[in-house]
Structure 1
Amino acid sequence: MSTTDRPTPSAATANASASDRSRDESTTLSDDDVFHILQTSRRREAIRYMLAANGSVKMGNLAEHVAAREHETTVAKLSSTQRQRVYIPLYQSHLPKLDKAGVIDYNKSRGIVSPGDHLEIFRPYLEVTTPDPMAADDETDQSLLGRFGSPAITDETYYVATATASVGLLLAAAFGFLPISGLALGTIVTALFVLTTVACADHPLAIQQATDRRRSQ
């Protein structure tokens, strides 16, 4: 390479800086990325657990916490089936997705989950802050946790409750405790599941509304 073809130190530095800026921009989470990540209750609970841990945790402990919250029980009372129902999706899908987004650093072989560069982005979304009493109309102080209520109330909780109510109605009708026609009973059960679907759909809608307010600021 001739002297004229060799890049000068200043040019090399400029190229490196441009490369660094491009890398930083490509790894920055957009509002759409945040919205997509928070759509799933298991990812929300996993992020909330990592924010509270302030350090590395065992993947098994994280999975047990998420499973306990999902089934509205304690870790000690979890059944093996309940653990597996949550552990496998976290292991195969949710944690790798959070790792790819830079929210966590997931060492799959060691089973260790550490905070990622973008973890703190989610703190204002998942923690309830005390609203200013002088600004009653200001909804920006209310995080997603406040909008959703208890983190244990997941989409699965709604559907389990609806299924339980439907089975109760069917049994009551079958044993003659509920004098109602089959057509009317079918209509009631269908309406219950429609209402449940609407209630579950409110979760991502609340996230989108919070994101829209963030964009408008």
Structure 2
Amino acid sequence: MKAEHIRYEEQDGQHEDDESDHPSEATTFSKDEIFHLLQNERRRMVLRYLRGTDEPVRMRDVAEQVAAWEHDTTVEELTSTQRQRVYIPLYQSHLSKLDEAGIIEYQKNRGIVERRPLASRIDRYLNLDPEDESTDEQQSDPAWNDYYIGATVVCYAVLIGAVMELPFTSFLSGIGLSALILFLFTVLTVSRIIN
């Protein structure tokens, strides 16, 4: 969903830049402070939404998109209950915490949210690709999963063949069979590390 931007003129000229309310842009956070701030998924989703905006947006638009992401649906298909369950905690708590940290500017009485320059420093701690929520191992190359599955099938076939004393496996002893399986998985693992 595209953010509906709010122009400063639409804010009736009441855009307040009281720097005493927000930490300076030179503020630095420890990793613990950043992780504490980002420990809540809704706050991370707010920052994800605002990452694509340069101007103020309505808090309602932010809340609706966060609710849609949480329920894996579109904004249009959200129920009023789903909207309300996200809107209230954002309104009462999460946006205020991000505002106090100086990452966003949240005008609670007006329902307007704006990303601040300090948010750029937090981006590297977020999973910036919303479509990619898998682990690093799965991200590297999904074809390796197929190789390991194939090796497992081959090992089971050889094992069952040895148990049933089929001609092609009857020459393997228990230790030989174990060595073959270990060798196969060692080769796969070393190949994966090298590539």
Q: Give the TM-score category using the shorter length.
A: 0.5 to 0.7
Deviations 1:117-164 (A, max 9, x none): 4211122223558xxxxxxxxxxxxxxx688449xxxxxxxxxxxxxx
The residue aligned with 2:55 is: 55
1:30 aligns with 2:52: no
Q: Is the 8 A contact 2:103 2:118 kept in 1?
A: yes
How many residues align structurally?
113
1:96 aligns with 2:99: no
| Structure 2 stretches lacking a partner, 5+ long | 1-22, 136-195
Report percent identity of matched pairs: 50
* Poorly superposed stretches of 4+, deviation over 6 Å: none
Letter in 2 for 1:43: R
The residue aligned with 2:118 is: 118
Question: Distance in 2 between the 1:98 and 1:78 partners?
Answer: 25
SS in 2 for 1:102: coil
Distance 1:103 1:92, change over 3 A: same
Q: Is the 8 A contact 1:106 1:112 kept in 2?
A: yes
Question: Distance in 1 between the 2:111 and 2:24 partners?
Answer: 27
The residue aligned with 2:105 is: 105
Q: Is the 8 A contact 1:99 1:116 kept in 2?
A: no
Question: Distance in 2 between the 1:25 and 1:86 partners?
Answer: 29
Q: How far 1:26 moved relative to its partner? A: 8.7
The residue aligned with 1:83 is: 83
SS in 2 for 1:55: coil
1:44 aligns with 2:48: no
SS in 1 for 2:52: helix
Counterparts in 2 of 1:124-135, with a 5 A limit? 124-128=124-128
Q: How far 1:46 moved relative to its partner? A: 0.3
Deviations 1:14-43 (A, max 9, x none): xxxxxxxxx759932221111011111100
Distance 1:128 1:82, change over 3 A: closer
Counterparts in 2 of 1:171-210, with a 5 A limit? none
Letter in 2 for 1:104: I
Q: How far 1:55 moved relative to its partner? A: 2.1
Q: Is the 8 A contact 2:46 2:66 kept in 1?
A: yes
| Structure 1 stretches lacking a partner, 5+ long | 1-22, 130-144, 151-217
Letter in 2 for 1:70: E
Q: TM-score, normalised by structure 1?
A: 0.47
Q: CA RMSD in A?
A: 2.6
